[in-house]
Amino acid sequence: MSEKMLSLYDYLGRAAGSILGKQVATCAKHETRFVENLKYTGDIMLYPETFLKFYFNGSRANRLTK
């Protein structure tokens, strides 16, 4: 069974922005998926859901918000 992969947008419910996106990307293995819609066309990063839960609920998230 493969792990559920999510974009930061899907996980956070909002655009993450380039700074947060780069911070997350440097900490995890990721996959990409091509999307095309009215606001964005291009590749998006997908991360394991378990990693995102750890990243945003762990001590690292506290350091990002300060």
Provide mean pLDDT across the span 19-27.
93
pTM over 0.85: no
CB neighbours of 42 closer than 8 A, spacing ≥ 6? 34, 35
Mean pLDDT of 1-21: 91
Element (H, E) at 33: strand 31-36
Place of tokens 């609920």: 57
pLDDT for residue 2: 81
Q: In angstroms, rounded to a whole number, what is the distance separating the alpha carbons of residues 41 and 10?
A: 16
CA 27 to CA 22: how far, in whole Å?
Answer: 9
Query: Which residue's entry shows tokens 């606001």?
Result: 39
Residues 62 and 29: their CA atoms lie apart, in Å, by 22
